[in-house]
Amino acid sequence: MLAGNVTTSQPELEQRLFATLDAVDEPIAIGSTIRDRDGRILDFRFEYLNPAAAAWAGVGRESLIGLITGEVMPGFRANGYFDSLREVVETGQPFVREGAPVAGTIAGTWVGGTYDLRAIRLGDGYLATWRLRSSAPEPG
């Protein structure tokens, strides 16, 4: 709800917010929760990625929006990041991990390396950002 003295409409504010997120040069992703009938979080769905996130993944962002995180990132559960995001959504406590090792792919693109990771709750989902500190060679 906007205050009475604000002259910008909600759609205009949303447009400005997305334009701002698009201009940030660090990857940003927004995910919504996928829950079972009992309310348990099963996975997350990509709702938004900024251009920096799409470039990091090596694909167009339209090809990732709407996809289920666990399907796009095979190591998502095994490396503990699913549990970290679930905790962010359930508790509202931000997730911050600096120097996190990542060894995996997203949409088939190798993204291994050391990262600074951050996530906050956003409605019934999360907003995440990450910064690559150093790349790791693809195994094999």
pLDDT digits (tens, 9 = 90+) for 43-69: 999 999 999 999 999 999 999 999 999
- For residue 129, the model assigns a pLDDT of 97
Q: Homologous superfamily of 10-135 in CATH?
A: PAS domain (3.30.450.20)
Q: Which long-range contacts (CB under 8 A, 24 or more apart) does 67-74 make?
A: 68/34, 68/43, 68/44, 69/31, 69/43, 69/44, 69/45, 70/43, 70/44, 72/46, 72/106, 72/107, 73/104, 73/105, 73/106, 74/104, 74/105
- For residue 74, the model assigns a pLDDT of 81
Task: Give the tokens for residue 102.
Answer: 């990542």
pTM assigned to the model? 0.89
What's the helix, strand, coil split of the chain in %, to 5?
30, 35, 35
Contact 136, 115 (CB under 8 A): no
- For residue 79, the model assigns a pLDDT of 84
Intervals of the chain under pLDDT 70 = 1-6
